[in-house]
Amino acid sequence: MLKGTQYLFGVSEEDTGKLRVFTRVLSDRVYRTVVFDVVVHPEFRGQGLVRMIFDEMTSHPDLKDIEQLVLYCTEDVVGLYEKWDFTQNRDGTKIMIRKRPLRA
């Protein structure tokens, strides 16, 4: 049986522990890896922090050879992920979403 594993990639301030950049990744370590929550603290955007954690994530020994690395994003950041060879889905598969009100 494949076991899912969660990976966290981030950079925090040494003195305060405050997060500057963060992403969360879930992988079965063979077929599929899903990337969630790519966020840079507003004060630290445009300084290469996403490049740092995406370079680390995509070269991680457990993740670099996974058949499919998947994320969903808005149109304005498509060009960001293309830098790591993500492409928009053209194989006909659909994203299916079941929505419920966000829990407070």
Ligand X SMILES: CC(C)(COP(=O)(O)OP(=O)(O)OC[C@H]1O[C@@H](n2cnc3c(N)ncnc32)[C@H](O)[C@@H]1OP(=O)(O)O)[C@@H](O)C(=O)NCCC(=O)NCCS
Interface ranges with ligand X (CB under 6 A) = 38-40, 45-51, 73, 76-77, 79-80, 83
Smallest separation (angstroms) from ligand X to the CB of 3: 26
Smallest separation (angstroms) from ligand X to the CB of 54: 8
| CB-count burial class (<10 Å; 0-12, 13-18, 19+) for 52 | middle
Smallest separation (angstroms) from ligand X to the CB of 83: 6
18 versus 45: smaller Cβ distance to ligand X: 45
Smallest separation (angstroms) from ligand X to the CB of 85: 13
Contacts of 58 (CB under 8 A, 6+ apart): 64, 69, 84
31 versus 36: smaller Cβ distance to ligand X: 36
38 versus 63: smaller Cβ distance to ligand X: 38
* Cα 41 from Cα 11, distance rounded (Å): 10
49 versus 66: smaller Cβ distance to ligand X: 49
Residue 82 amino acid letter: E
CB atoms inside a 10 Å sphere around CB 25 = 22
Q: Which tokens sit at 98?
A: 């079941």
